[in-house]
């Protein structure tokens, strides 16, 4: 009896972990393209917050979560464009502008929530979809194949992102813009254009990640619902060394710890509540600290490209 | 020189106006009248003794946090952990007052303020050390430390440091014991909450100015900020100054926390920071990262925060709008920098847009 109980708990932790990893993975894959093109977007937390609210709000009014997801993508793309305007065209300090975008998203999502919703309201979000046949495989089926369709989509996105980055011309341009923008420019590629594309793509993915939080996980919106997830996603980009597979490994490691932590609380194991809540943030700091043993980063990361300058 | 000052102030005001114009769109969306809303927001804080004193009450923590931001940004390290550093400072200050209640006020008050400084400096120093030793991005580490500080703070004021009275009465409100009245900061204007912390903050602003521009250590810190590699060739121990910058920035935020405790609330309680950690960044940027410029900027944003509260009561626009507007102010201020550095850049940008259009037409 006890054996069955622990086994089902273990499966529960793993399955929840697979699901919890998705918002991190989405936001981090987007940020990976942004940083590969040579720009930091440190404001994705703000984008996620607005994506989360508008995804929730659209679903609340139109009923179908698919509209919420589209709203999240659209919001994120617009904010990504805004960030591109600030950091590419106006060549602003990227760290500080990220803080600005974060505060903007935090304030605006809180404002809109109070204006148009007010209190805790739940929505009917994405429903789990068991993949036929595959979901019946013992162990693996429960862990991997009983989620909502967004979860599957996100994991398919990982090899796709790898393919785009390493096997397509556009991916090559992105990497060139981030490591040797002068070379890309010499070949007639507009560095600014590539960076705009990446920031818009990264923004759209961050907005989608935010919408997933409300539409695919919580089924509601509360103030500051992201609670630092956007910043953690950026940390995962470092931890995963700017590669899709590394980012996926980091996201899973992280979400498993998160899932374990919440299970410990549910089971009522004596463990200080505050310590459990701060655990993901401690893990992030440790992950950042250990991932700097061997440093590799896109060479032009954070450096605005100025034509004709010798860099 | 004079002219450049005027240009800078005009650019800053233009950034603020642009941010407020975007804010006006949101007020319109809320089906309110932006002119009426902004009318309350801008006249409210300045039209009464209450308004002016409360503006300055908010300006004190903004200025203290802002000074720390000036030091860290000037040293090339982006501290956004002031929110957490305020909390740690507030709780260490309260702990000091709780452990030595018998001490005479002349000794206890400095001890409490120093404890706040030490707590914040320790918390900021962690991020500085992580940056210097392990090149951990300080924006990420300070965000994480903010979240951790919030949990440490709530644990301490709910557990070990809780007001014994809350336990006797069984109410268990998360707050520390009321501090001995002897160390409460004096009132500058009777009948208001304005306290002598304002004088302390202004004195510290002058001190930070002297420190950054008139001492060798300050010079080295700015050199690290201007170019760490060049500074290293110049024989400056870059790592040491990064840690020092973060410790000082955290310390000043910690002082802000302890001043809130001894000056306003007289105990540590929930929600003590109220977003000062982020607004302080805006104040510092608006003060052009100059300690003395941060003084008027802190007063301006103190008024804005108070005005937003008044607006919420008068026309029912949630005060959360002020956070969104401050975020926009940051975006506009950092975007306008290029036009100050390169006056011809605006023409270049507009020109490139038009040439692209012409290309498409052709």
Q: Taking CB atoms and an 8 Å cutoff, what residues of chain A touch B329?
A: 100
Residue B215: pLDDT above 90?
A: yes
Interchain contact, B328 vs A275, CB within 8 Å: no
Residue A1: pLDDT above 50?
A: no
pLDDT tens-place string over residues B119-129: 999 999 999 99
Residue B360: pLDDT above 60?
A: no
Using pLDDT thresholds of 50, 70 and 90, give the confidence band for residue B1: very low
Nearest to A92 among B134, B151, B334 (CB): B334
Mean pLDDT of A90-101: 90
Interchain contact, A103 vs B141, CB within 8 Å: no
pLDDT tens-place string over residues B269-319: 888 887 899 999 999 999 999 999 999 999 999 999 999 888 888 888 888
pLDDT tens-place string over residues B175-214: 888 888 888 888 888 888 888 889 999 999 999 999 999 9
Is the dihedral angle over the CA atoms B299, B304, B309, B310 positive or is it negative? Answer: positive
Interchain contact, A282 vs B349, CB within 8 Å: no
Q: Looking at the complex, does the CB of residue A35 fall below 8 Å from at least one CB of chain B?
A: no
Q: Taking CB atoms and an 8 Å cutoff, what residues of chain A touch B323?
A: 103-104, 106-107, 110-111
Q: Taking CB atoms and an 8 Å cutoff, what residues of chain A touch B328?
A: 100, 104
Interchain contact, B151 vs A275, CB within 8 Å: yes
| Model pLDDT, residue B184 | 84
Closest to B89 (Cα-Cα) out of B225, B280, B221, B224: B280
Annotation: CATH topology of A11-117+137-290: ABC transporter involved in vitamin B12 uptake, BtuC (1.10.3470)
Residue A3: pLDDT above 70?
A: no
Q: Indicate the helix (H) or strand (E) that contains B121.
A: helix B105-134
| Axis-axis angle for helices B82-99, B276-286 (nearest 10) | 120
What architecture (CATH level 2) is domain B33-316? Orthogonal Bundle (1.10)
Q: Looking at the complex, does the CB of residue A277 fall below 8 Å from at least one CB of chain B?
A: yes
Closest residue on chain A to B126 (Cα): A285
Residue B2: pLDDT above 60?
A: no
Q: Looking at the complex, does the CB of residue A289 fall below 8 Å from at least one CB of chain B?
A: yes
Q: Taking CB atoms and an 8 Å cutoff, what residues of chain B touch A295?
A: 135
Closest to B62 (Cα-Cα) out of B247, B227, B296: B296
SS3 A190: coil
Residue A310: pLDDT above 50?
A: no
| Model pLDDT, residue B359 | 59
pLDDT tens-place string over residues B129-173: 999 988 888 888 999 999 999 999 998 988 888 888 888 887 778
pLDDT tens-place string over residues A233-271: 998 998 888 899 999 998 998 888 888 877 777 776 767
| Model pLDDT, residue A279 | 84
Q: How many percent of chain B have pLDDT more than 90? A: 47
| Model pLDDT, residue A311 | 42
Mean pLDDT check: name the lowest of A14-23, B168-177, B186-195, B338-347.
B338-347
**How open is the CA angle B15-A113-A217, to the nearest 5 degrees?**
120
Interchain contact, A107 vs B30, CB within 8 Å: no
Mean pLDDT check: name the lowest of A163-167, B2-6, B268-272, B289-293.
B2-6
pLDDT tens-place string over residues B15-41: 899 999 999 998 888 788 888 888 888
């Amino acid at each position: 009896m006890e054996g069955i109980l622990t086994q089902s708990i273990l499966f529960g932790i793993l399955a929840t972990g697979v699901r919890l990893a998705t918002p991190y993975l989405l936001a981090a894959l987007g940020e990976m393209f942004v940083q590969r093109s040579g720009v930091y977007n440190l404001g994705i937390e703000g984008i996620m917050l607005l994506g989360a609210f508008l995804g929730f709000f659209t679903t609340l009014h139109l009923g179908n979560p698919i509209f919420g997801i589209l709203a999240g993508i659209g919001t994120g793309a617009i904010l990504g464009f805004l960030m591109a305007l600030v950091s590419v065209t106006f060549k602003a300090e990227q760290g500080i502008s990220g803080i600005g975008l974060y505060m903007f998203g935090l304030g605006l999502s809180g404002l809109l929530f109070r204006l148009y919703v007010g209190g805790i309201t739940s929505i009917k979000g994405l429903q789990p979809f068991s993949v036929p046949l595959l979901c019946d495989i013992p162990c693996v089926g429960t862990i991997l194949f009983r989620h909502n369709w967004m979860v599957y989509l996100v994991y398919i996105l990982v090899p796709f992102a790898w393919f785009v980055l390493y096997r397509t011309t556009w991916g090559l341009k992105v990497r060139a813009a981030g490591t040797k923008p002068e070379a890309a420019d010499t070949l007639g590629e507009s560095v600014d254009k590539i960076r705009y594309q990446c920031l818009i793509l990264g923004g759209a993915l961050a907005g989608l990640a935010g919408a997933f939080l409300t539409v695919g996980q919580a089924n509601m919106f509360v103030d500051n619902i992201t609670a630092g997830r956007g910043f953690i996603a950026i940390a995962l980009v470092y931890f995963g060394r700017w590669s899709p597979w590394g980012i996926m490994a980091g996201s899973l490691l992280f979400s498993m710890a998160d899932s374990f932590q919440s299970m410990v609380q549910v089971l009522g194991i004596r463990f200080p509540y505050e310590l459990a809540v701060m655990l993901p943030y401690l893990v992030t700091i440790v992950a950042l600290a250990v991932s700097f043993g061997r440093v590799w980063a896109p060479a032009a990361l954070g450096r605005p490209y100025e034509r004709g300058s010798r860099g | 020189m004079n002219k450049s000052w005027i240009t800078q102030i005009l650019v800053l005001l233009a950034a603020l106006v642009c941010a407020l114009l975007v804010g006006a769109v949101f007020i319109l969306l809320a089906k309110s009248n932006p002119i009426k809303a902004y009318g309350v927001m801008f006249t409210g804080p300045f039209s009464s003794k209450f308004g002016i004193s409360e503006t300055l009450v908010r300006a004190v923590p903004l200025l203290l946090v802002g000074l720390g931001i000036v030091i860290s940004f000037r040293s090339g390290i982006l501290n956004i952990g002031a929110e957490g550093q305020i909390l740690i400072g507030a709780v260490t200050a309260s702990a000091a007052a709780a452990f030595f209640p018998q001490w005479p006020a002349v000794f206890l008050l400095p001890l409490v303020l120093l404890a706040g400084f030490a707590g914040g400096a320790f918390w900021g120093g962690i991020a500085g050390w992580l940056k210097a030793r392990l090149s951990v991005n300080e924006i990420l580490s300070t965000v994480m430390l903010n979240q951790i500080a919030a949990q440490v703070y709530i644990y301490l004021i709910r557990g070990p440091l809780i007001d014994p009275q809350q336990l006797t009465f069984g109410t268990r409100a998360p707050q520390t014991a009321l501090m001995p009245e002897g160390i409460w900061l004096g009132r500058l204007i009777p009948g208001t909450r304005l306290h002598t912390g304002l004088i302390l903050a202004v004195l510290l602003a002058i001190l930070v100015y002297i420190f950054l521009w008139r001492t060798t250590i300050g010079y080295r810190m700015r050199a690290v900020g201007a170019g760490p590699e060049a500074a290293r060739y110049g024989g400056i121990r870059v790592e040491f100054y990064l840690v020092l910058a973060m410790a000082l920035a955290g310390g000043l935020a910690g002082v802000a926390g302890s001043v809130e405790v001894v000056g306003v609330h007289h105990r540590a309680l929930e929600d003590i920071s109220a977003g000062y950690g982020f607004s302080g960044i805006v104040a510092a940027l608006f003060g052009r990262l100059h300690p003395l410029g941060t003084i008027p900027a802190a007063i301006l944003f103190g008024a804005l925060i108070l005005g937003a509260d008044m607006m919420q009561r008068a026309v029912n626009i949630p005060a959360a709008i002020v956070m969104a507007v401050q975020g926009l102010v940051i975006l506009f201020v950092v975007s306008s920098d290029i036009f100050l550095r390169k006056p011809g850049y605006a023409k270049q940008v507009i020109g490139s847009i038009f040439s692209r259009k012409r290309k498409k037409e052709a």
